Structure 1
Amino acid sequence: MAQTPIGTLGDSEFDRDTAVVRREPGVYDAELSAGWTIMNAVNGGYLLAVIGRALADALPHPDPFTVSAHYFTPSTPGPAVVRTEAVRSGRTLSSGQASLLQRDAEGNEVERIRVLASYGDLDALSEDVRTTAKPPAIPPQEHCFGTSDGPAPEIPGSNAITERLDLRLDPATVGWAVGAPSGKGEMRAWFGLADGRDADPLSLLLAVDALPPTSFELGLKGWTPTVELTCHVRSRPAPGPLRVSVVTRNLAGGFLEEDAEVWDSADRLVAQSRQLARAPRQ
């Protein structure tokens, strides 16, 4: 169930939990929160937002336009460091790379994620839009299913992230939760943060990776770890809930892709992503 709306842009649990502190130029300290874990691993979209915040400080442009991440090892709650490097700065775009690292049990520094990103100013973009894309057909929120509706699905490990999201899943994509998956690799939902904070470009990095994996609707259970994720942020989202659609068209060789679209309350396509993930081992 959603919490009483108390979060605002810049002052919310999401902002506090993705905060970074500049230790020296290009080096940022972070504390990965256990509140954003799923199946005992820190969510990949949340991690992108942490890295994205560091790059926004390190680069001369404020907004992520494209972020490509390779996930090497699972991240755990606790201290982390983000090391950034500016690669190129132009008039409209700047590019940089970043790595998120943590210490293992022996005290050795381990690289968890490596990112290459381009940043710009979303407010400076042209208003010319020519598209054949259409928002996903999702029933009204009151006809969709939240985490408090019906029996809790069997998902092993920590699912703390669900308490920080206001997800309203399309009934056509929740068969997995009652043991009757559709067999289609589709997941659709209304998306928001549980404390009512409106979306911004950094939270879009979370939104593309926040829904249950499409593998659940394919009848597969278990962790679906991300190998690579690329997100394109197309516009600054309007206030209000987002609609997220995720589709898998091909599972082969133990891997699947997930294509996501995020639409805002003004019916604009504000983010797109594709990720390659390892299918759950059965």
Structure 2
Amino acid sequence: MAQATIGDSEFDRDTAVTPREDEDGVYDAHLSAGWTIIHAVNGGYLLALLGRTLGQALPHADPFSVTAHYLTPSAPGPAVVRTQRVRTGRTLSTGQASLFQYDENGAEIERIRVLASYGDLDALPDDVRTTAKPPAIPPIEHCLGPSDAPAPIPGSSAITERLMLKLDPTTLGWAVGAPSGKGEMRGWFGLADGRDPDPYSLLLAVDALPPTAFEMGLTGWTPTVELTAHIRCRPAPGPLRVSITTRNLAGGFLEEDAEVWDSADRLVAQSRQLARALRTP
């Protein structure tokens, strides 16, 4: 199968929106069932869809900082995105977007609300001063994907068929009933059709790995409450490396800090999210 290209991929089609001719800043969307976890639509996919929408609505196309509050679970099907320009400057534009779906009576229910700043990643200076280092992950051929699991993985679903996801075996104790107790998840990430990464797919990458709660011994769903992603530069072609850590689970909530590195060993995205840790009965 030929490798998909940016703009001609299932990911691009499933995050596309259509502007309404009669309503400025309003877009129609369809949430694909292909990006679900169990029955809910993946939060990273939603972030990417809203990120692409704001890239169309604002004069700058590249997301720099995106903060999302997940209000109610999204379901596959039609949706509407309402956007608003907050501020427009020479180097940064700020806007907000909300995604709505409909209840059985046709009333709109807000699913997710985003506030974001956009700019031009190609205009950033080359100067980098950092102490950050790429995560130590074994080569892809020594990592494991959903098809390598000895039994069905909790939470696996349609989204796994659309991802190239190979996880570090040292973060997979949960898959064989022996979680390490550490809040760590690491792996190689890409789209299954071979499409190279771009700023929008980075918004997916920060929330596409299994939750760190699995390796802490929890097997329930961990719905995101709030997520902030920073896109640091345009990623180079090739697979990404994603590292996610949790240091504190307390009061039924945990944080997840993610780093995304590209094939040129550059830190291309960072995120922090607050999630609920729901225990199974």
Q: TM-score w.r.t. structure 2 length?
A: 0.97
Does 2:174 match 1:137? Answer: no
Q: How does 1:83-94 map to 2 (within 5 A)?
A: 83-94=82-93
Say if 1:39 and 1:155, in contact at 8 Å, map to a contact too. no
Does 2:18 match 1:18? Answer: no
**Equivalent-residue separation in structure 2 for 1:17 and 1:172 (angstroms):** 33
User: Identity over aligned residues, as a percent?
Assistant: 79
SS in 2 for 1:148: helix
Q: Which residue of 1 aligns with 2:101?
A: 102
Say if 1:39 and 1:223, in contact at 8 Å, map to a contact too. no
Q: Which residue of 1 aligns with 2:208?
A: 210
Q: How does 1:180-191 map to 2 (within 5 A)?
A: 180-191=178-189
**Equivalent-residue separation in structure 2 for 1:261 and 1:54 (angstroms):** 24
SS in 2 for 1:246: strand
**Equivalent-residue separation in structure 2 for 1:84 and 1:150 (angstroms):** 41
Q: Which residue of 2 aligns with 1:247?
A: 245
Q: Which residue of 2 aligns with 1:267?
A: 265
AA of the residue aligned to 1:278? R
Please provide the CA RMSD for this pair: 1.0
**Equivalent-residue separation in structure 2 for 1:150 and 1:252 (angstroms):** 30
**Equivalent-residue separation in structure 2 for 1:93 and 1:70 (angstroms):** 22
Q: Alpha-carbon deviations, 1:219-247, whole Å to 9, x = none?
A: 10121000000000000000000000000
Runs of 4+ in 1 over 4 A off after TM superposition: none
Deviation at 1:5, TM superposition (A): 4.9
**Equivalent-residue separation in structure 2 for 1:11 and 1:154 (angstroms):** 30
Deviation at 1:85, TM superposition (A): 0.1
AA of the residue aligned to 2:241? R
SS in 1 for 2:118: strand
Deviation at 1:106, TM superposition (A): 2.3
SS in 2 for 1:97: strand
**Equivalent-residue separation in structure 2 for 1:8 and 1:148 (angstroms):** 25
AA of the residue aligned to 1:208? V
Say if 1:5 and 1:194, in contact at 8 Å, map to a contact too. no
Q: How does 1:116-265 map to 2 (within 5 A)?
A: 116-155=115-154, 159-265=157-263
AA of the residue aligned to 1:16? R
Number of residue pairs aligned between Structure 1 and Structure 2: 278
Deviation at 1:72, TM superposition (A): 0.4
Please, which runs of 5 or more residues in structure 2 have no aligned partner? Answer: none
Q: Alpha-carbon deviations, 1:50-78, whole Å to 9, x = none?
A: 11111001100010000000000000000
Q: Alpha-carbon deviations, 1:72-108, whole Å to 9, x = none?
A: 0000000000000000000000000010000012221
